[in-house]
Chain A
Amino acid sequence: MTKRILAVLANSVLALSMATGAAVLAAPAQGADEFVPAVVFDQGGKFDKSFNEAAYNGAERFKKETGIAYREFEITNESQREQAMRNMARRGASVIAAVGFSQTAAVDKVSREFPNTKFCLIDDKLELPNVQSVTFKEHEGSYLVGMLAAMASKTGKVGFVGGMDIPLIRNFLTGYEQGVKHVKADGEVITNMTGTTPAAWNDPTRGAELAKSQFGRGADIVFAAAGATGLGVLQAAVDSGKLGIGVDSNQNWVHPGHILTSMVKRVDVTVYDCMKTAKDGSWKAGHRVVGLKEEGVGYALDENNRKLVTPDMEKAVEEAKQQIIAGQLQVKPYQP
């Protein structure tokens, strides 16, 4: 027995040391002139069917069109952000898309260390010579889906399930509320936040519970702005015979005929543009705010929800959209 253990130990130590040596030798630097885009996803993970997945789709589209592979990393804890960013830069990434406002501090720091690397920060503002930052007018898009919700609602009560109670989500909420009130002055928005930890973005079970309790209190439409938690919210809407509203990506296809619309946030376009412009040389630093006018946000209408949105509803929403674009209708954002 002892002998056998020792033998196994010796073998693995030997194998380990050989492998270590091999790996060190076999890790040459990337070619300097190669174009390597990179994405650093936030804690939700790239398959959250929502915010991060939109970024993933943008990167995939770039890859498909250009045939250029990209590097990626999914954050699992706070201290990895800076490290991941620096690693990408050091390993020769030409442009790095940092997905989510949580990356701001890391981008701020690492972009100064690597002035020749381009950074795209999504969801927060950062003014640096090699950083392009993009924020969205979520309140504008939410305003439109709020209008649709109010018009489709029979009870006059609509629900909202957020992820964590953070400024970004409050921005969704405030636009949504304004849109509801625009249609029905006495309309009521029942609001719940899923939790206080990052798990709140990935807790479909709790999302479903919250949605059901909102239905119990009279809501018949629920807007999920909670990452992967939203999938539970939408499922609950299907199960209860109510309607859900998707977020970030167009989620109408998730439950065709049961999702009134989706508040789309074109993170995919942003990520794609970021890589594309960096590739062809038209990339610019600076901050952009994109709203309805820039088609950075909007509501989704396709064959999956065509029957749910009546022509009257569509007309009203389109009108409001034009007014907002023209500046005649002011949607107030959340002020932190």
Chain B
Amino acid sequence: MARGMAGKGFGMPGEVPGWVNYALLPLLNLLAAFVLSGLVILVIGENPLDVLALMVTEAVGYPEAIGYTLYYTTSYIFTGLAVAVAFHCGLFNIGGEGQAYMGGLGAGLVGLAMTGWPWPVVAVAAVLVSALFGAAWAWIPGWLQARRGSHIVITTIMFNFIAASIMTYLLVDVLIKPGQQSPETREFDPGTWLPSMDRALGWIGIEVAPSPLNLSFAWALACCALFYLFLWRTRWGYEIRTVGQNERAAVYAGISPSRNIVLAMLISGALAGFVGVNEILGVQHRLLLNFTGGVGFVGIAVALMGRNHPLGIILAALLFGMLAQGGGQVSFEYPTVNRELVMVIQGLVILFAGALENLFKPQVEALFRRPPKKNEGTRNEGRA
């Protein structure tokens, strides 16, 4: 329908205020998800408002909770950005999970190898190596898409499994600390750990409660800024967006779609790889199985809800961080709200924010697509 109308001679489609699209609609979707979740909770016999209140308290109600929430947020920002950069090139990278896993391998190898080095050096090395590992893991599906036309959705999913297999093999047979059951490496030298936020803030005299939140959070925010500058302020970002929006126009402009597909996937993989810095070097301090725990998939919802824009991604990642932290804690107080139910709530948010993001769009846009005061509309040449 839109295409038929936009064809020609349609004048200017009515634009709705930006805040409707970027704030009101996501909020409405969120509200719908919460209302539905509330019904589910009601059905199992708990008071939904109490549960919701507890969830919010446990997510942002006290310093440690905030730390945990932001720690989850960190990983979601990385994977959200990863999904978004691929989106901007017209690619649906579902492989954030595997790329994050491989990024963790990179960070873990750095942590194991660099015993005795000061942490800033280790941190820089881990950022580089995890980016390299994540990018390498995304490069293959990207290359297959660009050169062979293998669909990136399929290949990235498959590479998630391959990454899991490689990690299981490495941790069970190669990197495992001898003499223990758990397939984990030894703990890294504490001197190489990425300082947690409470430690880092302690240096400048600010006391906060200990939590897994670490300096990767600052790096995640920096990545958001770099992401913006790269995509909207450099010629390389311009090329990626051109390919994503209109491949034929890209060819017309002498921009190689295949090169940019590979480039976008490399960046996407590198961003997902940074999850490894947060989880492995910042929190676990050892390499272990399944530390990603689905962050790659949450990243898809984060990118969708954040409209593929770094600011939106920060907000969406924050929301999902709150859900992960607050939701996880709810089952402490309400045994009936078990982890499956928490997943249902998270799933509903993803459903409404992601898959059904346009649910309320037509009605709401119609509501706000009102003409300004009539007297403004003197004979106008187009518009002011």
Contact = CB atoms under 8 A, between A and B. Distances in A.
B329 A1 contact: no
A197 B329 contact: no
Contact of A196 (B61, B72, B164, B279): B164
A24 B58 CA distance: 10
5 contacts: A19-B50, A22-B50, A79-B212, A196-B168, A198-B290
Contacts of A268: none
A299 to B, nearest CB: 22
A78 B178 contact: no
Contact of A104 (B28, B56, B180): B180
A203 interface: no
Contact of A20 (B56, B169, B291, B338): B56
A160 B183 CA distance: 21
Interface string A189-208: 00000011110000000000
B291 A336 contact: no
A123 B178 CA distance: 16
A12 B167 CA distance: 46
B68 A83 contact: yes
B172 A166 contact: yes
B332 A123 contact: no
B293 A78 contact: yes
Contact of A1 (B165, B172, B284, B367): B367
Contacts of B161: 196-197
A76 B339 contact: yes
Counting from the closest, the 9 A-B pairs by CB-CB distance are A77-B293, A19-B53, A196-B164, A101-B181, A196-B168, A19-B49, A20-B53, A101-B182, A196-B165
A274 interface: no
A167 B52 contact: no
Contacts of B329: 87
Nearest to A166: B183
A23 B57 contact: yes
B154 interface: no
Given A19-B53, A79-B293, A167 B168 contact: no
A57 B324 CA distance: 28
Interface of B: 28, 31, 49-50, 52-54, 56-57, 61, 68, 71-72, 161, 164-165, 167-169, 172, 176, 178-184, 187, 212, 279, 283-284, 286, 288-291, 293-294, 324, 328-329, 331-332, 335, 338-339, 342-343, 363, 367
A74 interface: yes
A273 interface: no
Given A74-B338, A105-B284, A22 B168 contact: no
Contact of A12 (B31, B179, B183): B31
Contacts of B168: 164-166, 196
Given A71-B332, A76-B339, A79-B71, A336 B179 contact: yes
B176 A336 contact: yes
A153 interface: no
B161, B165, B183, B212 pick with most chain A CB within 10 angstroms = B183
A166 B329 CA distance: 29
A328 interface: no
Contact of A105 (B183, B184, B339): B184
Contacts of B290: 78, 197-198
A9 B31 contact: yes
A76 B164 contact: no
Contacts of B328: 76, 80, 83
Contacts of B28: 5
A82 B211 CA distance: 10
